[in-house]
Amino acid sequence: MKILEALITGVAQGAMIALVALGYTMVYGVLKLINFAHSEVFMMAAYFGLFLITWLLGSSSPLVAGVAGTLMAMGAAAIVGILVERVAYRPLRGRGRGALLRITPLVTALGMSVLLQNLAQLLFTARFRPYPQLMTGTVALPGFTLSTSRVVILITTVLVMIVLELIVKRTWFGKAMRALSANEEAARLMGIRTSRVISMTFALGSSLAALGAVLYCLDQSQVYPTMGVIIGTRAFVAAVLGGIGSITGAMLGGLLIGVIGELVKLTDYSGGVDVLVFLVLIIVLLVRPAGLLGSTRAEKV
């Protein structure tokens, strides 16, 4: 039963990681850019959720405060994501040649990550802040119990991923995003407003990171300025493991990392979760450089 409990807990953990990994993979799919500032958007969204849920009196009306606070935090994170894209990345788009064209936005992403982290320390101080306890109950399953928060996490993540898949495959925005990923110049010639699509992609990815941040903090964590480093690193690994640029791959990578982490905790090497995660990543990339669900394609030069 311990293994079954660890598997279910790992799926819940992986679901939160997958929500953050989706932001990495969506931006990379459109711009071929690793947005390292995404982990700090996750952290800022956790603060937004904390303040909004507290302001909405989460202790007296947990359902209303939890839902409304999460939705408002997602909206605020979407605005932050759009601002990051417009301030840090849009001015650099198309500048430079060859390696410089790819390195400059990468360095800018690292700089934006450090900026947001230090801004959070300046605005919110470095102390740890606990989230209100909105979901304290448990759900009885054969042989063990599961916290209500993790049941909510699983249900919410499944619904969000279904909706996201429908958005990408069935809507105009999804078609435009896929066209932009295939060929930005051709998409522009077909009348697609590429700048708007890119901003919407950043907004959607940031809002998903906010959802993951609030669920993560409600379940098990306090908020602090450097919290994005650990989760952001695992989410990035999940995106690469599943196949960077693949939405389904990001989901699979997140679930695998969550399950692996919980299974390792059952052994005598519970402190080496990240070591094993990176070891799995190295092995997968040696066998399949594009990731589990990624695909390689030749580019004309």
Please report, for the chain, the start and end positions of each structural domain, with discontinuous segments joined by +. 2-287
- Angle among Cα 229, 114, 209 to the nearest 5 degrees reads 50
Determine the 3-state secondary structure of 145 from DSSP: strand
With a cut of 60, say whether residue 98 has pLDDT above it: no
Quick: pLDDT tens for 80-94.
999 999 998 888 876
Contact present, 234 and 259 (Cβ < 8 Å): no
| CA-CA-CA-CA dihedral for 241, 245, 249, 250, to nearest 10 | 80
- pLDDT > 70 in the chain, percent: 92
Closest CA to 54 of 114, 133, 145, 168: 133
- Residue 214 pLDDT class (50, 70, 90 cuts): very high
Quick: pLDDT tens for 103-142.
788 888 889 999 999 999 999 998 999 888 877 777 766 6
Contact present, 256 and 238 (Cβ < 8 Å): yes
Contact present, 167 and 247 (Cβ < 8 Å): no
- Residue 262 pLDDT class (50, 70, 90 cuts): confident
Residue 101: left if φ>0, alpha if ψ -120 to 50, beta else—which one?
Answer: alpha
Match domain 2-287 to its CATH number in 1.10.3470, 1.10.760, 1.10.490, 1.10.150. 1.10.3470
Task: Give the max Cα distance, the chain.
Answer: 61
Enter the tokens of residue 159: 């619904």
Lookup result for tokens 């947001």? 116
